[in-house]
Structure 1
Amino acid sequence: MQALTLHAGCLAFQADWPAPTPGPDEALIRVTLAGVCSTDLEMVKGYVAGFSGVLGHEFVGVVERTGAAETAEWIGRRVVGSINIGCRRCRVCLGEGPEHCPNRTTLGIHNRDGVFADLVTLPVVNLLPVPQSVADEAAVFTEPLAAALRIREQIKLRPTDRIAVVGPGRLGLLVAQVLALGAGDVVVLGRRPESLALPARLGLRTGLVDEQPDDSADLVVEATGNDAGFAHSLRIVRPQGTLVLKSTFHGNADVNLTKLVVGEIAVRGSRCGPFAPALRLLEASVGGDTAARLGVQVRPLIDAEYLLRDGLRAFDHAARPGARKVLLRPT
């Protein structure tokens, strides 16, 4: 099969990569559309040392077969899938789920081939059916939208909160839309006026991060993917405020952490989130402008679509400053 692989830091297109075989509890899924995210770009830089295999974790596809007769009802269904595969035996898996299982694998990130390929396998328990009304071009956003929703699970938001989302990129725009659905005054902050054009079109309030006063936000979500964004986020959050970190990037942040102590800042890491609510939001967004206000708008975030065989060009595009979502279609 076709696949986009990473080995020893080298990204390559493979025309004859071995096709996977589903285990007894797994499904074999034909990928119809996949999304390139910032984590994929950081993987190429060495974010996860030693990874070798197929990249990618944002996808929508159709189940071709399953490894057991009792799960055959999934065959032919259009699905998305959560990316963490736990052991399902340890205390963490049984109590909280697979996201922090010490023995987990992670789709296209840690010890498991990902979705930049014709075919991928996942445990059936990781699958969710896609509503008929949600097109592939929207369903492919399920994983990053779920990551944005994770903040709503972790942080109790108040209508009076002043919320700043630092980074008007792929994830930041989803985070801002999710937070604007039910909480306070949300502003999207970027470094350049041109980077704020799209969030403004989405109806979000915007501003230049350099112009924001110190200590001006109750909650700051850092989604820039660089240490300069972290420094700005720390500067903007008020004493006893909350700083949510969404970025995953290769390297170490070079910032002064004194304010975390002196200002008694609450810092929250935020990673993977719930897929079912993400699909409900995407379903609510189908229709006209009124329906979109009930959910989130994802199609305006799409920059380009490439065939999988042009995956190297797609990665170059996704790495451009200001690039939004780049999609990969196997055929």
Structure 2
Amino acid sequence: MQALTFDTYLSYRDDIAMPALAAGDALIELRLAGICATDLELVKGYAGFSGVLGHEFVGTVVAVADHKHHAWLHRRVVGAINIGCNTCEVCRKYGPEHCLNRKVLGIRGKDGVFADYFSLPVANLHAVPDPVPDQAAVFTEPLAAALRVVKQLAGLAITDIAVVGPGRLGLLIAKVLSLAGYRVTVLGRSAASLALPKQWALTSGLTTEIADNSFHCVVDASGHASGFSQALRIVKPRGTLVLKSTFAANAALDLSKVVVYEINILGSRCGPFADALALLTENTLPVETMIDGQYPLQDGLAAFKHAGQAGVRKILLQPAGLQGT
């Protein structure tokens, strides 16, 4: 089968073996997949991953390992990306997202979705509601990650929030925070990067024009060490800084402000798929306006090059001959 693999360098191959199913697994045929910032960082060496890349997807279940899961056959699905060991204390108490022995689809110890077919435990799957088209369903994973920020901030005395980084994830975070009732400002490095946030009716501005210590809460979704530095600069003393970026970097970071001004730092990662699908069903998020290109798998190298260009948000991949619906 076709796949995009990474092992020192990114390559397209058409000789990859079909995945073998373990107990509890489903075999999924890819419909659409999205290239995200983490994928771009993985090919730079982040996390030391090798194998088939990709974790944002919508697909169709074509086989299951166990007869008891027969009802999943032919269903259109998305899937949570963490596979826990189900035995360690952390996994049992906090879930597979924090399992010390977890595998992560296309990121850690588990081949991903940039392939004709891939496997995932049935327990990770979520059926896509009929009204949600493929080109919206493929945003379920990043939208769930955005909704995680809303859940983490609930109950804190916060009203105004800055989101640094108007890109793939930052835009979703800003919009769901706005829908949750927060006063949100999206901050970018250029006026061009703020065009889509404005189209989404979000207040926006240039990061460099924001004074030091301006916001009680700042979300860093920039994907860059420089973005983290800017986020730290503009958060107020005793404020909250939410870290949403994962990136490969060796730059030294000055964390003295965190200590001196007692900044509260929240790491934020994966979120609730069911909530994301419910929001997509409401059709209140114009996620499809984020799509800047769609490529067949065999053109995956060109797709990655396009995705890595400044200002580009979501690039999609699809098997040859299969159109997203």
Normalised TM-score (structure 1): 0.95
Q: Secondary structure at the match of 1:30?
A: strand
Partner of 1:289: none
Contact persistence 2:225–2:249 (CA under 8 A): no
Contact persistence 1:28–1:66 (CA under 8 A): yes
Deviations 1:182-214 (A, max 9, x none): 132100000111110110001000001111111
Partner of 1:137: 135
Tell me, in whole angstroms, the C-alpha distance in 2 between the residues paired with 1:171 and 1:106: 19
Partner of 2:182: 184
Partner of 1:300: 289
Tell me, in whole angstroms, the C-alpha distance in 1 between the residues paired with 2:137 and 2:61: 15
| Structure 1: runs of 5+ lacking an equivalent | 286-291
* Deviation, structure 1 residue 318: 0.3
Contact persistence 1:160–1:183 (CA under 8 A): no
Partner of 1:162: 160
* Deviation, structure 1 residue 171: 0.4
Tell me, in whole angstroms, the C-alpha distance in 1 between the residues paired with 2:275 and 2:75: 19
Tell me, in whole angstroms, the C-alpha distance in 1 between the residues paired with 2:256 and 2:158: 27
- Opposite residue 3 of structure 2, the aligned amino acid is A
* Deviation, structure 1 residue 158: 6.2
* Deviation, structure 1 residue 160: 6.0
* Deviation, structure 1 residue 11: 0.3
* Deviation, structure 1 residue 97: 1.0
- Opposite residue 27 of structure 1, the aligned amino acid is A
* Deviation, structure 1 residue 94: 2.1
- Opposite residue 203 of structure 2, the aligned amino acid is R
Contact persistence 1:159–1:184 (CA under 8 A): no
Partner of 1:27: 26
Contact persistence 1:159–1:182 (CA under 8 A): no
Tell me, in whole angstroms, the C-alpha distance in 2 between the residues paired with 1:259 and 1:93: 33
Partner of 2:55: 57
Contact persistence 2:41–2:248 (CA under 8 A): yes
* Deviation, structure 1 residue 20: 0.5
- RMSD, matched Cα: 1.1
1:234 is the counterpart of 2:222 = no
Contact persistence 2:91–2:100 (CA under 8 A): no
Residues 67-82 of structure 1: pairs in structure 2 closer than 5 A: 67-82=65-80
* Deviation, structure 1 residue 315: 0.1
Runs of 4+, deviation exceeding 6 Å: none
- Opposite residue 310 of structure 2, the aligned amino acid is P
Deviations 1:280-328 (A, max 9, x none): 010011xxxxxx2xxx221111110000100000000000011110000
Tell me, in whole angstroms, the C-alpha distance in 2 between the residues paired with 1:253 and 1:263: 22
Partner of 1:15: 14
Contact persistence 1:159–1:183 (CA under 8 A): no
Contact persistence 1:226–1:253 (CA under 8 A): no
Tell me, in whole angstroms, the C-alpha distance in 2 between the residues paired with 1:182 and 1:107: 29
Tell me, in whole angstroms, the C-alpha distance in 1 between the residues paired with 2:155 and 2:169: 19
* Deviation, structure 1 residue 159: 8.2
Change (3 A) 1:101 1:18: same
Partner of 2:41: 42
Tell me, in whole angstroms, the C-alpha distance in 1 between the residues paired with 2:228 and 2:189: 13
Partner of 2:264: 266
Deviations 1:254-300 (A, max 9, x none): 33211111111100111111111000010011xxxxxx2xxx22111
Tell me, in whole angstroms, the C-alpha distance in 1 between the residues paired with 2:82 and 2:210: 37
The number of aligned residues is 320
Identity of aligned residues (%): 56
Deviations 1:111-153 (A, max 9, x none): 1100000001000000000000000000000000011111112
Tell me, in whole angstroms, the C-alpha distance in 1 between the residues paired with 2:289 and 2:156: 28
| Structure 2: runs of 5+ lacking an equivalent | 321-325
1:106 is the counterpart of 2:95 = no
Contact persistence 2:307–2:315 (CA under 8 A): yes
Tell me, in whole angstroms, the C-alpha distance in 2 between the residues paired with 1:91 and 1:135: 39
Q: 2:122 aligns with which of 121, 124, 140?
A: 124
1:323 is the counterpart of 2:323 = no
Contact persistence 1:5–1:54 (CA under 8 A): yes
